[in-house]
Amino acid sequence: MTAMNLNIPTYTLSATTSSSAVTLLDTDVNNSAVNVYNAGSAAVFLVSGATSAPTAVFPTSATAPIAGTVVAPGAIETLSKDTRHKFIAGITASGTASVYIQCGAGE
C-alpha cells in the first residue's frame, strides 16, 4: 500500500446551507484520490465538476437520485473523482461544517 504524500495542498470548504466550492490547483486536477475530513457537526453533501463549480443540492427523500456523496459529521473518507474535475462543491442540509480536502496519489 502506498500512502498519500504528507505535504500536499489542503483545501478548506466552508459548507453551509448554500452551495460553495473550492477550485483545485492544476497539479491536483489529474489526481483521482481525494481524502475528505468533515470537521463539522452537520453532514455535508459533496460533488465534483469539470468546467465550472457545480451547485451542490443536499438530497432529500423527495429528490431523484443525484451524483455526489454525503460525508457524515466527524468522518474521514477516501473517495475518487474524475481526473478532469477541477471543482469540489458542498452543502449542508442544516448548520455549518468545515470540510478539509486533499487530492493526491496513493491508496
Reply yes or no on whether the pLDDT at 20 is more than 80. yes
Model confidence, pTM: 0.90
If one counts every other C-beta atom within 10 angstroms of the C-beta of residue 41, the result is 11
Q: CATH fold of 11-104, please?
A: Jelly Rolls (2.60.120)
Predicted local confidence at residue 12, as pLDDT: 98
CA distance 88 to 80: 12
Q: Is 29 helix (H, G, I), strand (E, B) or coil?
A: helix
- Where exactly are the structural domains of the chain? 11-104
Average pLDDT (10-22) is 97
Local confidence band at 2 (pLDDT 50, 70, 90 cut-offs): low
Summarised one tens digit per residue, pLDDT across range 67-102 is 899 999 999 999 999 999 999 999 999 999 999 999
CA distance 43 to 39: 10
Average pLDDT (51-68) is 87
